[in-house]
Amino acid sequence: MKIVISFLFINLLIGFSSPVFSQIEEFSFKITNYEIDEINYDEIALNGDLALSFYKCENGTFCMSNFFRKNNTQSYGGIYGVKQTHYDETSKSYAHDEYRFTWKFFNTYDSNRGEAAVTLNYIYIGNTVKMTAEIVDLSTNEVLLFKGYLEK
């Protein structure tokens, strides 16, 4: 499972066109825990059906969306400068992959634009891929924290 998820992420980033994966256009993580500047918004995330999604943009770049599916609002945009680090499973931790990148976003709910530093972790636990993310808005220093799992 972990190899497939990492491959999917990297595949979308570099535009790999394997016949096996050419049909995959998007994958999403259901968000169950959500904080902004240490204030908990779990209920808003669950009631708003919050997802962190990755997909190919119309221009061929790779994009990310912080999407409240219930009310159809989102922050979305391209991701750039991805760096990946893999950590093998040990007796004290699960195997996981860490991705760091810059996200240039646009908010549909207030028309604000900006850039953010993103740290994304995929943690492989049995058949589940858990996700944690930290998004730091580079102009306001606002810190958003997410926890969730890969939707199948």
Distance CA 143, CA 63 (A): 20
112 alpha carbon, distance to own chain's centre: 20
Check whether 136 has a pLDDT greater than 50. Answer: yes
Give the torsion sign (CA, 95, 79, 101, 18): positive
Show the tokens assigned to 6: 């990492």
| pTM of model > 0.85 | no
| pLDDT band, residue 61 (cuts 50/70/90) | confident
**DSSP secondary structure of 33-54:** EEEETTEE-HHHHHHTTEEEEE
H or E segment and range at residue 5: helix 2-14
Domain residue limits, the chain: 2-150
| pLDDT band, residue 58 (cuts 50/70/90) | confident
Check whether 1 has a pLDDT greater than 60. Answer: no
Other CB atoms within a 10 A radius of the CB of residue 45 amount to: 21
